[in-house]
Structure 1
Amino acid sequence: MCETLKNKYQVCEEIGRGRFGVISRCFSPTKNSFFACKTIDKSLLADQADRDCLEKEPKIMLFLPPHPNILQIHDAFDSDDSLTLILDLCEPYTLYDKVIKSNGGLPEPKSAGIMRQLLEAVAHCHRFGVVHRDIKPDNVLFDSRNRVKLGDFGSADWVVDSGSLSGVFGTPYYVAPEVLMGRDYGDKVDVWSAGVVLYVMLSGIPPFYGETVEEIFEAVIRGNLRFPPKVFRNVSSQAKDFLRKLISRDPSRRFSAEQALRKFLGFFRFFFF
């Protein structure tokens, strides 16, 4: 642990562990607050792609103006051996954990409340040209006030001058079809992924699935969106209409994040007013 980090923070117990390092709770005496301390062991980075992600993630997170629904970096310490990021402290469970515990999906009002905050985060990223590229329940965190925090910007990138990106990034169940088809794509890939997250919240199952990764990808590319009556019996027609606008195979027909946000309260206002 570098001296500068030790001088500024008291590192406490380990609260998580990932592929490249550990996350601990830490305390800042000057701010009188607790944070998460994410330490990445550079020796565990397997290839150049991992090293590129390590460099890009903090740059993108620091570039984005603070937003209440996006995980924020408060400090960073770089050395030859490791990179340590001081982040918002979140609860140990994710949206994935909430959905699994629900055993069949979350109630529509609860799903709507989470989705509104997720769309706020995605729209904020897109306003500044950032595409997340890996939106999934595992990356939707919650702070001590149960407020959504979108995290893990390791696959994120800036939209280039042409307004498009390339390369296959994301997670099988949540990745947009245009990514898998090898086309250049824009920020609407995040809207597709957010739509799949909403579908999973409401039903407890993904809209596209298969026995293997290849079969999942084939189902995603077909994009045949269905609402099994038994699973969606308690889901409103407004929610299903909204999902069709998010999980649209044709990006030109798919809502942008801003459009989704504007339409959201039109569909779900009875949950908030």
Structure 2
Amino acid sequence: MSKFEIIKHIHYGKCNDVFVSRDSKGNKYAVKRFYKSELERTKCYTNQQGKLVRKDWFEDFKRSLEIQLMVDDDSCIKCHAVFGIDLSKEVPVIEDEIELVFDFAECGSLMDLESFDVPIVEFPKKVVKCIAKDVLQALHYLSTINVAHRDVKPNNIFMNKQGRSKLGDFGESDVMTKDGKVRGSKGSYYYLAPEVFELNNDEKDGSAIDMWALGVTLWILYFRRFPFSPNNSMYESMEEIQNFNFEKETEVLKRSYQERGEEWDDDFVDLLGKILENDPSLRIKPKEALNHPSLSDVDYEVARLFCLKNQKSLL
């Protein structure tokens, strides 16, 4: 269908597959192929104004594709071409297969780099700082175009061979209101911010929700443990997230680090605490976080070497 040569099949999914491809100049891309027949079997349920509403696949697919095409920053995975669907027509033209051509991140997602089975394999602290700075840049950029990602987690952060991290997969993303608000619950519940679970239908700060999810991600990478039990039910996790006490949890961790003689980075933990602030109105903004002292000395060469050593063979 597309003008890109398929090199390797790297992901098998129910509704889509992902391939490494290259263009006529030899540049590599990731091609995500969706199958219309499978998408049509997928039904989504969303909560709008307190009511459950049934939607077909096209509404969500169109929304996420339009957002993906808006995104144009090096901190995010960009979509370079679309085949098999034409949204410019009054009645959209949709072929049996739809292909989206994205940036290719040679090292895959953070989940590809390391296993998240217990015990969690170590990400060097300096690499985590590189990831933090890059994803904060992505969240700052998204806030400037009024987009909330809604599903920040290790699976959706990708690293290239230069050791740079990019935020990708905008399947759950929303365009925020003019004052930066979103409505409803989306994304992976383990990474949802405490305010999302409030029993009201008020609009929430979309950027603040993304920041919390980044905070959970960084906690996992930095401390090699989960801030909440990964085996909890959704309702148990909801209670644990709402009652999360950052100071109490880090006090326990700090004592453990000191007992083992491990270095404790007060500056980075301070930043993490500002991100994992329970009150969204007090939670640090991406732009402010980028200027935090703990991120003043990031070393991308360390990240590059880490990727080179740990990446799976995608080619």
Normalised TM-score (structure 2): 0.77
1:63 maps to amino acid: M
Which stretch of the first structure deviates more once superposed, 221-230 or 126-135? Answer: 221-230
* Contact 1:71–1:151 under 8 Å retained in 2: yes
What are the superposed Cα offsets for residues 11-64 of structure 1, whole Å, 9 maximum, x if unpaired?
2321112231111121211x4312111101122221236433311222112112
The residue that corresponds to 1:27 in the other structure is 22
Does residue 71 of the first structure (1) align with residue 80 of the second (2)? no
* Contact 2:228–2:240 under 8 Å retained in 1: yes
Does residue 197 of the first structure (1) align with residue 192 of the second (2)? no
What are the superposed Cα offsets for residues 237-271 of structure 1, whole Å, 9 maximum, x if unpaired?
111111110001101110011111122xx123244
Does residue 10 of the first structure (1) align with residue 8 of the second (2)? no
* Contact 1:202–1:235 under 8 Å retained in 2: no
The correspondence for 1:61, drawn from 62, 65, 68, is 68
Distance 1:177 1:231, change over 3 A: farther
* Contact 1:133–1:155 under 8 Å retained in 2: yes
The correspondence for 1:36, drawn from 27, 30, 48, is 30
Distance 1:196 1:84, change over 3 A: same
Distance 1:154 1:242, change over 3 A: same
Separation of aligned partners in 2, 1:158 and 1:87: 20
* Contact 1:99–1:204 under 8 Å retained in 2: no
Does residue 269 of the first structure (1) align with residue 296 of the second (2)? yes
Alignment of 1:212-231 (within 5 A): 212-225=233-246, 226-227=249-250, 228-229=253-254, 230=256
The residue that corresponds to 1:123 in the other structure is 140
* Contact 1:28–1:34 under 8 Å retained in 2: yes
Separation of aligned partners in 1, 2:296 and 2:61: 40
Distance 1:49 1:70, change over 3 A: farther
Structure 1 unaligned residues grouped into runs of 5+? none
Decide which structure has the larger Cα Rg and report it.
Answer: 2
Does residue 143 of the first structure (1) align with residue 160 of the second (2)? yes
Normalised TM-score (structure 1): 0.89
Q: CA-atom RMSD, angstroms?
A: 2.2
* Contact 1:105–1:200 under 8 Å retained in 2: no
* Contact 1:178–1:184 under 8 Å retained in 2: no
What are the superposed Cα offsets for residues 161-183 of structure 1, whole Å, 9 maximum, x if unpaired?
35311111121221111112254
* Contact 1:100–1:204 under 8 Å retained in 2: no
* Contact 1:165–1:185 under 8 Å retained in 2: yes
Structure 2 unaligned residues grouped into runs of 5+? 44-54, 86-93, 301-315
* Contact 2:153–2:214 under 8 Å retained in 1: yes
Separation of aligned partners in 1, 2:212 and 2:286: 10
The residue that corresponds to 2:310 in the other structure is none
* Contact 1:41–1:83 under 8 Å retained in 2: yes
The residue that corresponds to 1:255 in the other structure is 284
The correspondence for 2:97, drawn from 55, 78, 82, is 82
Aligned-residue identity in percent: 25
What are the superposed Cα offsets for residues 161-220 of structure 1, whole Å, 9 maximum, x if unpaired?
353111111212211111122542112111111111111111122212252222111111
